[in-house]
Structure 1
Amino acid sequence: MSGAPSSPGTPAARLSITVLLLAVAGYFLLPVWWLFVSATKSSGDLFGSNGFWFGSGLHVTDNLAKVLQHGDGVFARWILNSALYSGGGAVLATLLAAMAGYALAKHPFRGQEALFAVIIGAVLIPPPLLALPLYLLASSAGIVNSYWSVLIPSIVTPFGVYLARVYAAASVPDELIDAARVDGAGELRIFFTVAVRLMSPALVTIFLFQFVGIWNNFFLPLMMLADDKLWPLTLGLFFWNSQLRDQPWYDLVVTGSLISAIPLVIAFLALQRYWRAGLSAGSVKA
């Protein structure tokens, strides 16, 4: 019938969906492309050439050398700091969230739902609102301007606890836990050998969310850290960017920003196979 809307299987519908997806992908990738291209330019080419295409020459090596040598190599220290905050914080946060979520899902106790409601409420609180209370707590504990002042708040993730509980309730059968108990396994062994494996897609998700959140965290380190040797990349690049009025550090900021994005890309590419494995688990019957 003429004039009828095309079904999703028609060539016109597929073409429309493809064009829409390409437009969305271009919208998200265009800033990344600009950052990549800009990191290959000299300071003069950054403003004297097309922003979305390469300049008169490739200066990637020169820019990398300038970034790593500037300020007695403090940029490398910032990378290590960000890796410590993000990697250590994400691992500990994932472990604590998994244990708490598993306990809430598989070990009923009095006040369980009230506690879970508090956790859900904590998810709705914007992290910047907690920066000042966390600073006051860290100050009273005497850990301001130390690694602990950033690392300790990073190991708590209410969203991770919520996700771990939901996934544990859906993916860890009670019959399997009972069978492990009959075989003499303790609760910790059941958790680490049975539950963690079944919950791995959710745990990878929690790890990535927490890793990205800590890596991009800015306000908490700004409040806690005064020593530039303790700064993460976000705070260091902000300091360099704040000096642009006095010194031509545009190439340093742009190249440093590109370097700071590389670990996030690597993390997503390295861990995405766990998502695929989790989504396909159980789809094929042995």
Structure 2
Amino acid sequence: MSSPATTVSRPASVAADSPGSPPRLRSSRKRAEGRRPRRSVLLTLLTGLVLLYSLVPLAWLVISATKTQEGLARSFGLWFSGDFALWDNIRETLTYQDGVFTRWLLNTLLYVVAGAGGATLLAVLGGYALAKFTFPGKRAVFAVVIGAVAVPGTALAVPTFLMFSKMGLTNTPWAVIIPSLISPFGLYLMWVFATEAVPDELLEAARIDGASEVRTFFQVVLPLLAPGIVTVLLFTMVATWNNYFLPLIMLKDPDWYPLTLGLHSWNEQAATAGGEAVFNLVITGSLITIVPLIAAFLLLQKYWQSGLAAGSVKE
């Protein structure tokens, strides 16, 4: 007669991966997984300082936009004055000098759509070609792109002005749009992104199925490059929207001014003989100017973040 089988229960902290393997303690793993990350006081302070540095000018801009011209002089910069004049300032900004602010806004949108949009398109095409095709002189192109990234735009301003002056394009929108089409950093970013985001096996499969290079690019490659495209678009859009020096040397007609140059001309009125000080309109116009940029970053945030993180983890 056989003795009844006895069941021995293992402690909760002991487990085995497979039959016959020695038991393994899990308590240390659970403690490690449940342990909170260490908090660095120094890192927290530095992050707080960066946050303060970023938000204080924005808070000053929002608060100052609610003040009248007289309220700006008699009140503290980071606090409201007695009169809340935000809506009056917005209305006056849009109607001052026969509504020229609206014209400047439309000019800026034109430069962004044509310049930043064209720069993004060229960066996508060039970056994909450099990443997935082999051709003579590819190393030389890489060296030129890296060199162009290192050259500041101000160093090319005078040669660009002289060239466009010979061509008769100064004081026209083309003098701002054409230089904006070239984005060495955007090209380099798309080059790196396309190298990691587009598998070579997927391209070979599309070609074996009989797809042309154009069809492969638009139906296979573009969806994979979407995060990188959004990232490059945001960078070029911000650069074109905030562009000041190039329009300053290229444009003389106020009707073609972008917002940056137009608001600067309003700001300089106070320094001219008989000029009218409209600092409240300059501040309100600056607030209106940054609203589209903030909205674009918030709406495209997830694509932008995924585009920056692409290629950071090697599988």
Pairwise same-fold verdict (TM > 0.5): yes
Cα deviation for residue 20 of structure 1 reads 3.6
Question: Are residue 78 (structure 1) and residue 104 (structure 2) matched?
Answer: yes
State the 1:250 CA deviation.
Answer: 0.9
Alpha-carbon separation, structure 1, partners of 2:220 and 2:37? 42
Match of 1:262 among 270, 288, 291: 291
Give the structure, 1 or 2, with the largest relative contact order (CA under 8 Å, sep 6 or more): 1
Distance 1:214 1:114 in 2: 28
Distance in 2, matches of 1:278 and 1:221, equals 30
Give the alignment partner of residue 251 of structure 1, picking from 276, 280, 285.
Answer: 280
- The residue matched to 1:110 in structure 2 has which SS? coil
CA deviations 1:14-51 (Å, max 9, x no partner) are 66544442332111110000000000001111121111
Partners in 2 of 1:121 and 1:138 — Cα distance? Answer: 23
Q: Paired residues, what number?
A: 274
| Cα pair 2:193 2:310 within 8 Å, conserved | no
* TM-score where L is the length of structure 2: 0.82
Q: Is 2:191 the counterpart of 1:165?
A: yes
2:10 maps to none
Deviates more, 1:190-199 or 1:73-82: 190-199
Equivalent residue number for residue 66 of structure 1 = 92
Distance 2:166 2:42 in 1: 59
CA contact (8 A) 2:231 2:307 kept: no
Q: TM-score, normalised by structure 1?
A: 0.91
In structure 2, the residue matched to 1:128 is 154
| Residue pair 1:8, 1:14 contacting (<8 A) in 2 also | no
Letter in 2 for 1:229: D
Which amino acid in the other structure matches residue 254 of structure 2?
D
CA distance in 2, matches of 1:50, 1:65: 24
Alignment counterpart, residue 275 of structure 1, candidates 277, 280, 304: 304
| Preserved CA contact (<8 Å) 2:111 2:240 | yes
Q: Which runs of 5+ in 1 are unaligned?
A: 1-6
Q: Specify the SS of the correspondent of 1:108.
A: coil
**1: CA distance, partners of 2:174 / 2:310:** 39
Contact kept? 1:240, 1:249, Cα under 8 Å: yes
Match of 1:42 among 41, 64, 68: 68
Q: Deviations over 1:80-111 (max 9, x none)?
A: 11111012211111110011011111110001
- Structure with bigger gyration radius: 2
Q: 1:243 to 1:90 in 2, by over 3 A?
A: same
Residues 185-264 of structure 1 aligned to structure 2 (within 5 Å)? 185-245=211-271, 246-264=275-293
Matches for 1:129-148 after TM superposition, within 5 Å: 129-148=155-174
Q: Distance in 1 between matches of 2:113 and 2:232?
A: 12
Residue in 2 that maps onto 1:30:
56
Distance 2:120 2:131 in 1: 16
What letter is aligned with 1:102? Y
* SS state at 1:53 partner: coil
How far 1:147 moved relative to its partner? Answer: 1.1
My pick for the range that moved more, 186-195 or 259-268, is 186-195
Q: 1:184 aligns with which of 210, 222, 238?
A: 210
> Is structure 2 residue 21 aligned with structure 1 residue 9?
no
* Paired AA for residue 37 in structure 1: I
Per the alignment, residue 90 of structure 1 pairs with 116
In structure 1, how many angstroms separate the alpha carbons of the residues matched to 2:159 and 2:308? Answer: 39
